[in-house]
Every structure is written in structure tokens, then in C-alpha cells.
Amino acid sequence: MPTRALVTLPSILDNDFYKFTMQQGVVRLFQGASARYRFINRGKHSFPPGFAEALRASVDAMAELRLSREEKRFLQVTCPYLDPVYLDFLDGYRYNPEEVHIEQHGDQLQVHIEGLWYRTILWEVPIMSLICELYYIMQNENRISNDEVIQNIRQKIENYRSLGVNIAEFGTRRRYSYEVHRLVVQALRQYGEGSFVGTSNVHMAMAHQTKPIGTHAHEWFMFHAARYGFKMANAMGLENWVRVFRGDLGIALSDTYTTDVFFKQFDKMFSKLFDGVRHDSGDPLQFADKVIAHYQQLGIDPVSKTIIFSDALNYDKVARIAEHCQGRIGMSFGIGTNFTNDAGPKAMNIVIKMTEAHPQDGEWTEVVKLSDEHGKYTGSEQVINLSKTILNID
């Protein structure tokens, strides 16, 4: 079994789009804020000897990444809501590997990230993709052939197209490898006309001439809880998103502190201003019914709005959701691991989450994510219970 491996990423844009959109928000509003993140091994995977050293070398190599002139031009043309000041900032941005702390104790891996939030926000997704790819290399986990990857994706996207639904690729963080990811997007682009609408990966979007897709993640609202308190986290998170993007990027993530709490603050102004919401946990059919009822109660036609479904989707789940929502509300689907890590070996179940935030004029404050299912909670039991008490969650 090899104990040395190196995986290098091809581009600073090999990352999820919402990391860059959130980074613009942080650069604009929270320049002095700091953040801490931690790797969580949900799948209880055992890492081989030397894994930390291999990951360390791969993370160190990221210091060489920088925005090219062509990449900057792509963002200017494709994403006009990324302002010139931010793009100039990104042009000068360099990963600082000293912000990432990696240790291995036996077969268990520890990764911690700490630094200014506007800098550390970009680490999460590429580090997860590196962990996955290195794991399969060092475990000698062989995959299916390139032709099989392409045919597999062709069959999937043709099946989705038969349902008449829009499909985006959301699989960067837990991909089998960069090469498999590249083949997946290539096949989606080639065979997905009429269904495939884009990818969350900005580098892949540029390489395959499709749309980068995303808005914000849970950490946006988690930070706002540290800055403004749990009761104001959703409202201030939405308010500040509007301040930065003025109506663009209008899909709101709803489940950071449960959907029920979110909709208490997603009032008529926000409901009209935002194009829709994203589902990331809990029963998708129940969620759809709640969203439709919310819009109807406010006198808004649900058909004019969209739900982006993105929680562990496969064909059967998408077909069930599409049948339930057809004609009632707009819908689109973000497929992640089922696209980019269906190559033979079992997909990894890992996450990296913000654990603490330090607003510029505040102090280090633990943050939590509640979600609509307990298995996706992150944070200490003490602060989870505190947040539930403050938010009146049973």
C-alpha cells in the first residue's frame, strides 16, 4: 500500500460557486471577522498510514494556484454581480497553507482551519475533494473505466430528461477524483441538452461552457448567529445577502435552524424578492408542501417560485419529488455524489463545517447547524440545546 501520494488541483476556480459569492459578501461586510472549521468523519472511515503527510503536501501545493487572465474574464462576462473590486481581490488571492492544521492519530484524521473568514472560506470544498481522491489512491480503490463513467452518466441524464426536469451537477466536495468529475461534466454537457443546466464547480463551468450555479451555504447563516444571535440569524443573513447582490442569486437556503424557524422570518418582502429556496435536509415532499403553503398564505403564486432540491438525490427520489411538485411550484435538482462518486468504490461520507466565528468586534463564539434531520446537526450538544431553547424548537 503506497504511503506517499500527491494530488494537485488544476485551478483556483476548482471550487463550488457559492464559496466565491459568499467570499464577496464577506469581503464587503465582514473584513475583520475570523472563522474556524473542522473536518467531521461522518462515515467513520479509516485512513491509511501516511495519509496526513500526503494531504499536507497536496494542501501546500495549493499555494501556487492563482486566477488566470482568462478565468477573470470568464467571471466578468458570466457573473456580472461579482463586482470589479472583488474580482481584483480574487486576482491577488493566494491560499495560505498555514491556515490548515492536519494531524493523524492511528487511522483517524484531524483537519482544522483557522484564519480571517474572507480568506479561509475557500478551503472547505477543495480540501474535501483532496481527502476523497487521496483516500481512493492510497487504499488502491480502483474505479470503472472512463467509457463506463461516461455511459453511466449518459444513462442517468437521459433518464432525468425523460422526467422533464432541470438538473445541475453539485458533486465537487465528494468526487472520486478530478478526472472522474471532468468526465461527468463532459458527458452531462454532451448528452444532457434540455435537462442539464450547469454545475456548482466554477472551473468545470468554464471548461465545458456551461453555467456556474450556487448562492450561499449554511456557514453564511451560522456566522450571522454568532454576530447577531440565533433569533436574528436568518433575517440578517437574508438582509445582508440582498445588500450585496441586490436581487441576483436569489435562492435562499432554508434549513440552517430548521425550515419552520426560517419561514417565520421569510416574510412577504423576502418571499417576493428571492426567487425560491433550496432544500437540503428532511422529507422533500413535506418541505415542498410547506413552501407552497407559505407562498399561498402570502398571496404569492408558487408556480412563479422555485425549489432547488439538493439532498442525496438519485433517480427514484427525483422522480417522486417531480411527480409531487408538477404544476404546483417550479423545481430544479442538484445532483452531487450520485454523479461524481458513482465509480465503483463506496462514496465517502465526510464534511468540513464552520465550528466557531469571531466577528470583528466580538469574541470567539461556537456556531451550530440544526438542519431538518438530527443526523445533520453540527456543533456541541450544549450549544445545540441552547439554540433550540432560544428558537423554541422541540
* Alpha-carbon gap, residue 60 to 17, rounded angstroms: 22
| Contact predicate 126/65, CB 8 Å | no
- Return the exposure string of 51-82: e unless at least 16 CB atoms fall within 10 Å of the residue's CB, then b: bbebbbbbbebbeebebeeebbebbeeebeeb
C-alpha cell of residue 326: 408538477
* Alpha-carbon gap, residue 278 to 307, rounded angstroms: 6
Domains identified in the chain and CATH numbers: 17-142+347-368 (3.20.140.10), 146-340 (3.20.140.10)
Angle, alpha carbons 176-336-214 (nearest 5°)? 125
* Alpha-carbon gap, residue 121 to 104, rounded angstroms: 23
* Alpha-carbon gap, residue 258 to 150, rounded angstroms: 37
Secondary structure (DSSP) of 138-197: HTT-----HHHHHHHHHHHHHHHHHHT--EEE--STT-S-HHHHHHHHHHHHHH-TTTEE
Residue 3: the pLDDT is 46
In the predicted model, residues of the chain with pLDDT beneath 50 are 1-3
Residues 276-307 pLDDT 10s: 999 999 999 999 999 999 999 999 999 999 99
Residue 42: the pLDDT is 94
Residue 4: the pLDDT is 64
C-alpha cell of residue 235: 433575517
| Contact predicate 308/285, CB 8 Å | no
C-alpha cell of residue 152: 453511466
